[in-house]
Structure 1
């Protein structure tokens, strides 16, 4: 057995809104009450889910986690649509009442803590250069913070980047 075969798989932290559920021409809800209403099977964006993403995600060599405001509801609504098994859910802090685009994303610290030094990929539509810089300073292992365009959600090109990074330890 090679040394790399003994290493644990990298973690994958996957967001839902804007990533698996592209916004297209629909704007996301503006307030928390409307947002909470979106976190269920009646969400109009569910029609936009690319069901081919499920098989693509299953081929990635990683330990996947939901990292989304959907929390456990991702296992009840999103996973069945994509043919995915139940995934663990990353513990995230509450969403802020106001958007502060000039600050560290609320998920950043929590995901670095959850990774505990292991290599990880975080796929989200809200990642900024501030998040990348913070992770580079505070996470001792390799990390890929991959921002997805929220209008289109995950694309074949995004899967290529993610797959390449996860499969090639030298890329990490």
Structure 2
């Protein structure tokens, strides 16, 4: 018996992809762009970085047709703060294991990599993060045989039109 085909997962980090950081004054002489959300500021939130998130990204992420999942150290707070800003519903949140090996013990592998591959469990997935390395790509290629994309975003600029084009092309393949 064949059930409905599950949509690909999109594991989404917040800091870097959605909230750009680390640019020099030369790169942004007037500072980062500031956005206002039509859904308003979430209650009881006083986070000055929130205004760096382009609220238009919410509909663009939904349009990819993937199941969106927060893969961020913001954890459940992403649903309280970021999702309303983007006009998104509450999303599933990756619960990170507490016993993550130190970087030396992982051979340069990002601490999120194993957990995300395990959660995908063979399902197609894309991981959007600013800390993905070639070590992560090699490990995933060796341990995951399904369709996947590890997409690194430049944390200085966050998601761009080019990033969305890459994600859309992958999701539509």
Asked if TM exceeds 0.5, the reply is yes
Q: Unmatched 5+ residue regions in structure 2?
A: 25-43
Aligned: 1:21 with 2:54: no
Tell me whether 1:118 sits opposite 2:123 in the alignment.
Answer: yes
Distance in structure 2 (CA, Å) of the matches to 1:143 and 1:97: 24
1:14 to partner: Cα distance: 0.2
- Return the alpha-carbon distance in structure 1 between the equivalents of residues 107 and 47 of structure 2: 29
> For 1:79-104, what per-residue CA distance to the aligned partner results, in whole angstroms no more than 9, with x for missing partners?
00000000000122349798769611
Single out whichever of 66-75 and 46-55 deviates more from structure 2. 46-55
Q: Which runs of 4+ in 1 moved over 2 A?
A: 40-44, 93-102
Determine helix, strand or coil for the equivalent of 1:7: coil
Whose radius of gyration is greater, 1 or 2? Answer: 2
Structure 1 portions without partners, runs of 5+: 27-39
2:34 corresponding residue in structure 1: none
Report Cα offsets for 1:64-117 as digits up to 9, x if no partner: 100000000000000000000000001223497987696110100000000001
Q: TM-score, normalised by structure 1?
A: 0.80
Whole-angstrom CA distance in 2 between matches of 1:95 and 1:45: 29
2: distance between equivalents of 1:45 and 1:78? 11
Instruction: Work out the number of aligned pairs and report it.
Output: 152
1:8 maps to 2:15: no
Partner of 1:33: none
Report the alpha carbon displacement of residue 61 of structure 1 after superposing the two structures with TM.
1.1
Question: CA, structure 1 residues 44+96, in 2 after alignment: closer, same or farther (shift >3 Å)?
Answer: farther
The partner residue of 2:156 within 151, 161, 166 is 151
Q: Which moved more, 1:70-79 or 1:40-49?
A: 40-49
The Cα shift of 1:47 comes to: 1.6
Under a length normalisation based on structure 2, what TM-score does the superposition of the two structures give? Answer: 0.80
1:86 to 76, 86, 90: 90
Tell me how far apart the structure 2 counterparts of residues 97 and 114 of structure 1 sit (CA, whole Å).
18
The answer as to 2:97 corresponding to 1:106 is no
What SS does the aligned partner of 2:50 have? helix
What CA distance in whole angstroms lies between the structure 2 residues aligned with 1:55 and 1:24?
A: 26
